[in-house]
Amino acid sequence: MQKQIKILLTILMALVLSVSCSKNNPNDPTKTKEMLQQKWEDATYAGSGYNITADRIDNFYTDSTDNQEKISYSVSIEEIVWYSDNASGMIYCKYTTAPSYDQSVANKYYAIAFKDLTDTTVKISGAYKDGGVSATDTLEEAKTTFTEAGGYFGVYSDCTAVTK
């Protein structure tokens, strides 16, 4: 009888493992990475938002004087850290075009957090903390400085995908 129970448990274990291993790895953000790579408009500020591609992010706005879209700043994506829910994470980046209001961040590192990513919506927050730093000299410094626990991501913009 014990031998039959062992065989039954072995078969049951093999069945459970085969079912759980046959699914996509839940920590593989391939689909969500593609969902993140699109143009996002801020729901509060029409005509402004983020254009995210595989290797860069452009923060854009629409100039009220000529109604033309302009780039506020651009960053190259250095690394994306996905959280376990596969709908949020941190984008570590390097300024390639510094914002006009702070040229001192040129060629320095920054972070942008995102959460609640779907096909058509996402919440995005650029690192900001009153009295905090605007950028760091190294990627490693950005990773330890720009954290939610450190108070850098208190306000998120509700963004909607711009239909192409």
CATH code: domain of residue 63? 2.40.128
The set of residues, in sequence order, having a beta carbon less than 8 Å from that of 29 and lying 6+ positions away, is: 82, 86, 89
Closest CA to 113 of 131, 134, 128: 128
Average pLDDT value over all residues in the chain: 86
In a domain? residue 22: no
CA gyration radius, the chain: 21
The set of residues, in sequence order, having a beta carbon less than 8 Å from that of 35 and lying 6+ positions away, is: 117, 118, 119
pLDDT tens, 32-78? 788 999 999 999 999 999 999 999 999 999 999 999 999 999 999 99
In a domain? residue 9: no
When divided into structural domains, the chain yields a total of 1
In a domain? residue 121: yes
pTM check: above 0.85:
no
CB hemisphere CA count around 38 (13 angstroms):
21
Closest CA to 86 of 64, 118, 61: 118
In a domain? residue 11: no
pLDDT tens, 135-157? 999 999 999 999 999 999 999 99
In a domain? residue 20: no
Q: Percent of the chain at pLDDT above 90?
A: 76
Written as six digits, the tokens of 60 are: 């854009």
